[in-house]
């Protein structure tokens, strides 16, 4: 069986923004974020480079995965009022440090991620795919897979070269549920740590061992801080930048000292007098909002679009993703285990198509081709 969808078709059935993160939104019609007090917390092993959900389960954060489909999400177009934060006077932090090669942190990934200035913004071009394995460990899977995204040209990421503190920060506890709020220096977008139902995406089993997964456009992104990038960027360099332009550092201060006194947005003014955020291994994990001046509705604008190439996937209860391989030549293989048997999704990406071969755990094979 084979069929294809063009972009206009794949968008005609819903009213969500093409770059939202609505893994479940076809069945829901409102946003109902939980109060942050409802967000389970956990304390993973200090310094652990990757996430360990078993720790969360041992500490009592079990059961969230079972309620996923009962939650809600997805606003309708036109309900979010545009707000523009205004810079406060008297605060003029320095921009994040730059190097001759570009922007600190990003230069460690210069082979795959291009950062350059254009007017008053940094532009970052990338395809969103990291070099580390993706998807492994996800127990709450919507059958999406990582497909390279065209974040180039007008569809590049952008954030201010000179961030300014806003009079009214925007909290990620009550907003910013659509689109990215930050960009990791390896070119992977970072979304709100709460999914669009207000649940902690990590504790819900939606994320792989690096804190990432794919949205409905098969777009790979993180929902937690990429603390694993600390080693690649080296001491003193950011692991990500929030879309307000403020840098996000890892588990230590830029000068190597321990992190202290983070505000509710996971940030503070550093020793050098500049505001910055930190990644943490418990909620809010990443910037808990945007303290800098941004243009935002329920998502920061402008930001790249991620056109969906196919209809949103259905949940596959009982499946655990067990491996992901980049086979070269733009071919990939994802395997999952279900009831003791292995199923797989093999796919090859070309400039214009994605060819899929789906194999169910009981051996049924289906091929599908979608245009992109
Ligand atoms: Zn997501
Ligand atoms: Zn700091």
Query: pTM for the whole thing?
Result: 0.77
Nearest ligand to the CA of 195 is 1
Residue 49: pLDDT band with limits 50, 70, 90: very low
3-class SS at 37?
helix
Nearest ligand to the CA of 250 is 2
- Distance of CA 137 from the midpoint of ligand 1 (Å): 15
- Distance of CA 193 from the midpoint of ligand 1 (Å): 9
- Distance of CA 341 from the midpoint of ligand 1 (Å): 27
Residues lining ion ligand 1 (Cβ < 5 A) are 21, 215
296: left (phi over 0), alpha (psi -120 to 50) or beta: beta
**b/e per residue 318-348 (b: at least 16 CB within 10 A):** ebbbbebeeeeeeebbbbbebeeeebbbbbe
d(CA 36, CA 189): 23
Query: Which helix (H) or strand (E) is 61 found in, with range?
Result: none
3-class SS at 78?
coil
Average of pLDDT values for 303-318?
94
- Distance of CA 50 from the midpoint of ligand 2 (Å): 21
Q: Read off the pLDDT of residues 14-46 as tens digits, 9 standing for 90 and up.
A: 333 444 454 443 333 333 333 333 333 333 333
- Distance of CA 283 from the midpoint of ligand 1 (Å): 16
- Distance of CA 93 from the midpoint of ligand 1 (Å): 31
Q: Read off the pLDDT of residues 210-269 as tens digits, 9 standing for 90 and up.
A: 999 999 999 999 999 999 999 999 989 999 999 999 999 999 999 999 999 999 999 999
Residue 50: pLDDT band with limits 50, 70, 90: low
- pLDDT score for 4: 41
Nearest ligand to the CA of 258 is 2
176: left (phi over 0), alpha (psi -120 to 50) or beta: left
d(CA 24, CA 315): 9
d(CA 92, CA 86): 13
- Distance of CA 274 from the midpoint of ligand 2 (Å): 9
- Distance of CA 139 from the midpoint of ligand 1 (Å): 14
Residue 198: pLDDT band with limits 50, 70, 90: confident
Query: Which helix (H) or strand (E) is 350 found in, with range?
Result: none
Q: Read off the pLDDT of residues 321-348 as tens digits, 9 standing for 90 and up.
A: 999 999 999 999 999 999 999 999 999 9
pLDDT greater than 80 at residue 306: yes
- pLDDT score for 297: 85
- pLDDT score for 233: 96
d(CA 77, CA 20): 12
Q: If you average pLDDT over every residue of the chain, what do you get?
A: 80
Q: Tokens at residue 353, please?
A: 């198509």
- Distance of CA 276 from the midpoint of ligand 2 (Å): 6
Place of tokens 């000292």: 257
- Distance of CA 56 from the midpoint of ligand 2 (Å): 26
- pLDDT score for 197: 84
Q: Which residue has the higher pLDDT, 258 or 92?
A: 258
- Distance of CA 213 from the midpoint of ligand 1 (Å): 6
Name 329's Cβ contacts closer than 8 Å, sequence gap at least 6.
Answer: 348
Break the chain into its structural domains and give their ranges.
14-313
d(CA 365, CA 347): 13
3-class SS at 7?
helix
Cα–Cα–Cα angle for 353, 355, 359, rounded to 5 degrees = 160
Q: What are phi and psi of 155, to 5 degrees?
A: -100, 20
Average of pLDDT values for 138-154?
96
Q: Read off the pLDDT of residues 340-371 as tens digits, 9 standing for 90 and up.
A: 999 999 999 999 999 999 999 999 999 999 99
Nearest ligand to the CA of 221 is 1
Q: What are phi and psi of 294, to 5 degrees?
A: -140, 165
- Distance of CA 11 from the midpoint of ligand 1 (Å): 18
| H-type alpha helices, the chain | 7-12, 53-58, 230-233
d(CA 230, CA 238): 8
| Sheet (strand 300-301) strand order | 83-84, 295-296, 300-301
- Distance of CA 359 from the midpoint of ligand 1 (Å): 24
- pLDDT score for 257: 95
Q: Read off the pLDDT of residues 65-84 as tens digits, 9 standing for 90 and up.
A: 333 333 333 333 333 333 33
DSSP string, 138-160: -SS--S-------B-GGGSEEEE
Residue 51: pLDDT band with limits 50, 70, 90: low
């Amino acid at each position: 069986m084979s069929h294809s969808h063009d972009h206009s078709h794949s968008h005609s059935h819903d009213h969500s923004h093409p770059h939202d993160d609505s893994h479940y939104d076809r069945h829901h019609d409102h946003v109902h974020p939980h109060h942050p007090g409802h967000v389970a917390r956990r304390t993973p092993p200090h310094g652990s480079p990757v996430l360990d959900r078993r720790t969360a389960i041992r500490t009592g954060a079990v059961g969230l995965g079972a309620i996923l489909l009962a939650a809600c999400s997805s606003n309708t177009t036109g309900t979010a009022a545009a707000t523009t934060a205004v810079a406060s006077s008297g605060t003029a932090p320095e921009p994040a440090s730059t190097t001759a090669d570009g922007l600190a942190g990003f230069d460690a990934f210069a082979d795959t991620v291009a950062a350059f200035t254009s007017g008053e913004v940094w532009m970052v071009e990338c395809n969103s795919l990291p070099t580390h394995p993706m998807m492994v460990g996800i127990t709450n899977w919507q059958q999406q897979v990582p497909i390279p995204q065209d974040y180039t040209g007008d569809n590049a990421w952008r954030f201010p070269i000179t961030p300014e503190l806003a009079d009214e920060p925007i909290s990620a506890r009550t907003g910013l549920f659509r689109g990215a709020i930050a960009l990791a220096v390896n070119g992977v977008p970072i979304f709100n740590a709460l999914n669009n139902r207000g649940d902690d995406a990590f504790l819900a089993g939606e994320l792989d061992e690096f804190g990432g997964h794919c949205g409905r456009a098969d777009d790979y992104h993180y929902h937690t801080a990429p603390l694993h990038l600390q080693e690649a960027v080296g001491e003193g360099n950011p692991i990500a930048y929030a879309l307000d332009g403020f840098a996000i550092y890892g588990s230590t201060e830029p000068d190597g000292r321990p992190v202290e006194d983070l505000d509710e947005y996971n940030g503070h003014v550093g020793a050098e007098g500049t505001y910055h955020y930190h990644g943490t291994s418990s909620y809010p994990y990443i910037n808990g909002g945007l303290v800098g001046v941004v243009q935002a509705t329920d998502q920061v604008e402008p930001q790249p679009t991620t056109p969906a190439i196919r209809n949103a996937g259905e949940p596959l209860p009982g499946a655990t993703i067990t491996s992901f391989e980049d086979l070269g030549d733009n071919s990939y293989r994802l395997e999952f285990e279900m009831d003791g048997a292995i199923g797989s999704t093999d796919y090859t990406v070309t400039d214009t198509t994605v060819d899929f071969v789906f194999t169910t755990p009981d051996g049924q094979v289906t091929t599908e081709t979608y245009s992109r």
